């Protein structure tokens, strides 16, 4: 179990992120509203973790008795996550280098480049994609090989006996991730926080309505943030990209 000093390091980072979320656009304000869904001892998955803006908040909420599986396919952010977890002494965080989809194997990511710098937050799996979609705005890109796993495989490999929360930001591959985690979702019924954008889904031949239909079929209700509260909604609209799903 983590000592109190080590646990306070993660809590301090999470507090800074929540403070930033109220003031700066680079931290999503949804990080301030997760406490009701992530009680102490929770097991969570952060898919498409990038640099861990959600990972550290989830780790602080779950506490020393919980566990956060931070899943990131790009080698740079993956190394950052591992190094940061080590420096914080966040023993309740396990970092996995993988993309989550509906299949397992080896895949390829397209990592866009702007002014010579990689734009990690817009990398996407090219397997199953029909062109770059909105990433056509970038003048260049790199191809990065990555392991691909399913959420069901991850849950099996780590011996996941319970799962309370899943956050996923996978640039349009959300439906694949959900299909690859069907058994886990039906068994554990975790709360889901998904980025859903029509422009990214389209390159995989999907629409927001397909995601909602899939989740309704296993008993989930969609919510969006409105005036500081999560309110039920019947559809996804283009003015909001993050949706919470509960059963």
4's enclosing H/E stretch is helix 4-21
In which residue are the tokens 């068994």 written?
Answer: 187
What is the model's pTM? Answer: 0.94
Tokens for 151, please give them. 């959420």
In whole angstroms, give the CA distance from residue 70 to residue 83.
13
Q: Which residues contact 141 (CB under 8 A, 6 or more apart)?
A: 110, 111, 112, 113, 132, 135
In whole angstroms, give the CA distance from residue 68 to residue 43.
6
- The C-alpha torsion from 118 through 82 and 193 to 164, rounded to 10°, is 170
163's enclosing H/E stretch is none
Going from the C-alpha of 226 to that of each of 170, 229, 239, 243, the distances in angstroms are: 24, 5, 12, 11
56 phi/psi in degrees, rounded to 5: -75, -35
Nearest residue to 76 (alpha-carbon basis) of 97, 92, 91: 97
3-class DSSP assignment, residue 66: coil
**Predicted pLDDT of residue 24:** 76
For the chain, how big is the Rg over CA atoms in Å? 17
User: How many angstroms from the chain centroid is the CA of residue 16?
Assistant: 20
In whole angstroms, give the CA distance from residue 204 to residue 72.
20
In whole angstroms, give the CA distance from residue 94 to residue 202.
32
Per-residue model confidence as pLDDT tens for the chain (247 residues): 455 555 788 888 888 888 887 787 777 888 899 999 999 999 999 999 999 999 999 999 999 999 999 999 999 999 999 999 999 999 999 999 999 999 999 999 999 999 999 999 999 999 999 999 999 999 999 999 999 999 999 999 999 999 999 999 999 999 999 999 999 999 999 999 999 999 999 999 999 999 999 999 999 999 999 988 999 999 999 999 999 999 9
């Amino acid at each position: 179990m983590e000592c109190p000093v080590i646990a306070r390091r993660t809590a301090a980072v999470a507090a800074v992120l929540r403070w930033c979320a109220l003031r700066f656009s680079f931290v999503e304000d949804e990080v301030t509203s997760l406490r009701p869904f992530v009680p102490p001892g929770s097991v969570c998955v952060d898919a498409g973790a990038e640099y861990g803006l959600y990972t550290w908040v989830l780790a602080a909420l779950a506490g020393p008795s919980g566990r956060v599986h931070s899943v990131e396919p790009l080698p740079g952010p993956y190394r950052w996550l591992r190094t940061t977890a080590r420096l914080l002494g966040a023993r309740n965080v396990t970092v996995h280098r993988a993309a989550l989809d509906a299949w397992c194997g080896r895949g390829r990511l397209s990592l866009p480049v702007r002014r010579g710098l990689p734009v990690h937050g817009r990398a996407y799996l090219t397997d199953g994609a029909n062109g770059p979609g909105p990433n056509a705005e970038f003048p260049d890109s790199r191809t990065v090989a990555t392991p691909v796993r399913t959420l069901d495989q991850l849950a099996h490999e780590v011996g996941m006996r319970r799962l309370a929360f899943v956050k996923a930001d996978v640039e349009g591959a959300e439906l694949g991730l959900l299909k690859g985690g069907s058994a886990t979702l039906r068994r554990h019924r975790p709360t889901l926080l998904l980025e859903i954008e029509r422009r990214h889904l389209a390159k995989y031949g999907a629409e927001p309505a397909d995601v909602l239909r899939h989740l309704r079929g296993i008993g989930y209700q969609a919510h969006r943030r409105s005036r500081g509260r999560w309110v039920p909604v019947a559809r996804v609209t283009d003015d909001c990209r993050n949706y919470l799903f509960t059963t």
